[in-house]
């Protein structure tokens, strides 16, 4: 079995965390490929190394002294080296970076040094082989990953018998220049690696025991999601549930490789398994009606009224065009006979709302336009809802019984999620009601 194992910043934030990582690696010989983030925060007063590196670059750009910041990073790694008795020549590594900072250091090169140094320390500590991500992860000039080239690169670097430790978050362009991914990109590096080595599983170790059914700041002690499909995860994370970088899904789902979200601080917890298809697991342990609930506040609903607009060819297109012209992304478009509404994030229209209304009035020649703010959208996601008559009845009945007014309802044809819109003030209450009905009291369904 081949496992690709990625550790997030909190898993390598201190020498104590490094020791936990070593126990996890030593306990399973299949954990062969290890990807690491840069050291994260080890406490409230601490800072993520990547944040400090971005800050250093901003200081360089504006000609502001940055040595205090740089020394914070230096001290962090020196502390880890000392506590773990490592031999790595960090003074030399830091001198190379510091010298370049007085010249023309690129942002990507500088911020990639967090992962680079962390992986170097971790490789020594685990007695593994360090392979630089710039020599493996190959970008095309257009920013896409070249999987074939990355695979060839990796094969040419592996020496037999040892675990491989690779920094996450960056790779190199065809000319060798370092390029970083977007923030949180080590998840993507792990996923790319899992793809190119055809891993049996991609373990993503973080500081939570998998995905929770609902946000723990809203529902107290929500249960963990044991199994979830990639499509369900997409729906939940689009609506705000974040444990994994969005771009980490495609490289593994394409090859049917499961992702297992695990907690470095609770390695005995099985965490969450993300799969293309959960039907085998569902046959053994039938899942709840709903897999998860997530949501976001602060949407605006712009409703356009015009007599017989439904019969008018092109009316909707004209309205959508206005939003496109203002580069506003649309969440959903519920419609009636003489009206339709456009739901967008309030932040996206705040500065241009009057211009948008004026343009809509002009282009659609409509009777009336209203804007309602302070709306929240909640996604109720579950593969078990598919083909289950009465599911939405149960949901709406429960919210009605709790005096919650539903302003928007949206269900896509694949039936794995129902999106409802309520007022911001009802947001938390709605999530608690749904959790209570479908999880806590699920036996009564």
Residues near ligand ASP (CB under 6 A): 9, 37-38, 48, 50, 114, 168-169, 183-187
Strand 368-381 to 417-423 pairing: antiparallel
Q: Least distance in Å: CB of 185 to ligand ASP?
A: 5
Q: Pairing between strand 3-7 and 201-206? A: parallel
Cβ atoms within 10 Å of 133's Cβ, excluding its own: 26
Decide whether 123 or 364 has the Cβ nearer to ligand ASP: 123
Shortest CB 236 distance to ligand ASP, Å: 20
Cα separations in angstroms, 302 against 217, 299, 326, 327, 328: 30, 10, 14, 16, 13
* Residue count (the chain): 445
- Comparing CB distances to ligand ASP, the nearer of 186 and 191 is 186
CB of 205 to ligand ASP, least distance (A): 12
Between 184 and 295, whose beta carbon lies closer to ligand ASP? 184
Minimum Å gap between C-beta 112 and ligand ASP is 9
**Cβ within 8 Å of residue 275, ≥6 positions away:** 227, 228, 229, 230, 258, 281
Task: Report the distance separating Cα 389 and Cα 411, nearest Å.
Answer: 13
Q: Which residues contact 412 (CB under 8 A, 6 or more apart)?
A: none
Least distance from ligand ASP to the Cβ atom of residue 37, Å: 3
Least CB distance to ligand ASP at residue 55 (A): 12
Return the number of the residue (38 or 121) whose C-beta is nearest ligand ASP.
38
Q: Give me the least distance between CB of 417 and ligand ASP, in Å please.
A: 27
Whether 295 and 377 have beta carbons less than 8 Å apart is answered as yes
Least separation in angstroms between residue 247's CB and ligand ASP is 11
The CB-of-188 to ligand ASP minimum distance in angstroms stands at 8
Number of neighbours of residue 66 by Cβ within 10 angstroms: 18
Q: Pick the closer one to ligand ASP by CB: 185 or 210.
A: 185
Which C-beta is closer to ligand ASP: that of 43 or that of 390?
43
Cβ burial, residue 215 (10 Å; 0-12/13-18/19+): middle
Residue with tokens 């959208």: 377
Q: How far is the CB of 154 from ligand ASP (least distance, A)?
A: 19
* 111/228 with CB nearer ligand ASP: 111
133/257 with CB nearer ligand ASP? 133
CA distance 199 to 201: 5
CA distance 59 to 69: 9
163 vs 245, beta carbon nearer ligand ASP: 245
For residue 38, what is the DSSP state? -
Helix (H) or strand (E) holding 422: strand 417-423
Q: Is 97 left (phi over 0), alpha (psi -120 to 50) or beta?
A: alpha
Q: Of 181, 78, 188, 88, which is closest to residue 130 (Cα–Cα)?
A: 88
Cα distances from 153 to residues 33, 120, 134, 169, in angstroms, run 15, 19, 10, 17
Q: Decide whether 116 or 427 has the Cβ nearer to ligand ASP.
A: 116
């Amino acid at each position: 079995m081949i496992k690709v194992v990625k550790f997030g910043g909190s898993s390598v934030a201190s020498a104590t965390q490094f020791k936990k990582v070593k126990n996890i690696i030593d306990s399973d010989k299949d954990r062969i490929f290890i990807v690491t983030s840069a050291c994260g925060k080890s406490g409230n007063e601490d800072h993520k190394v990547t944040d400090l590196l971005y800050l250093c670059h901003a200081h360089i750009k504006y000609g502001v002294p940055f040595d205090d910041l740089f020394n914070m990073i230096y001290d962090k790694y020196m502390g880890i080296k000392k506590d773990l008795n490592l031999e790595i020549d960090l003074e030399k590594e830091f001198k190379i970076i510091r010298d370049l900072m007085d010249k023309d250091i690129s942002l990507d090169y500088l911020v990639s040094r967090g992962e680079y140094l962390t992986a170097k320390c971790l490789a020594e500590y685990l007695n593994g082989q360090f392979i630089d991500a710039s020599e493996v992860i190959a970008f095309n000039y257009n920013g896409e990953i070249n999987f074939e080239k990355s695979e060839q690169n990796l094969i040419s670097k592996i020496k037999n018998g040892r675990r491989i430790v690779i920094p996450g978050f960056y790779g190199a362009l065809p000319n060798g220049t370092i390029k970083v991914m977007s923030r949180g990109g080590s998840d993507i590096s792990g996923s790319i690696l899992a793809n190119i080595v055809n891993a049996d599983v991609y373990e993503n170790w973080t500081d939570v025991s998998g995905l929770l059914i609902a946000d723990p700041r809203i529902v107290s002690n929500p249960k963990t999601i044991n199994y979830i499909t990639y499509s369900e995860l997409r729906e939940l994370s689009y609506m705000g549930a974040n444990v994994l970088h969005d771009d980490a899904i495609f490289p593994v789902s394409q090859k049917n490789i499961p992702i297992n979200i695990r907690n470095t601080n609770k390695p005995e917890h099985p965490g969450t398994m993300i799969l293309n298809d959960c039907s085998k697991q569902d046959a053994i342990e039938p899942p709840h009606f709903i897999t998860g609930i997530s949501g976001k506040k602060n949407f605006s609903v712009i409703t356009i009224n015009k007599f017989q607009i439904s019969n008018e060819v092109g009316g909707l297109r004209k309205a959508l065009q206005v939003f496109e012209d203002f580069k506003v992304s649309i969440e959903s478009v519920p419609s009636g006979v003489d009206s339709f509404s456009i739901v967008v994030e309030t932040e996206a229209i705040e500065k241009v709302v009057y211009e948008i209304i004026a343009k809509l009035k002009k282009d659609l020649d409509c009777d009336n336009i209203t804007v309602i703010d302070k709306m929240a959208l909640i996604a109720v996601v579950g593969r078990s809802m598919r083909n289950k008559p009465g599911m939405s009845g149960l949901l709406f009945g429960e919210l009605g019984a709790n005096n919650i007014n539903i302003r928007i309802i949206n269900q896509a044809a694949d039936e794995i999620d129902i999106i409802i819109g309520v007022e911001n003030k009802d947001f938390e209450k709605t999530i608690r009601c749904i959790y209570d009905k479908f999880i806590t009291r699920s036996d009564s369904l």
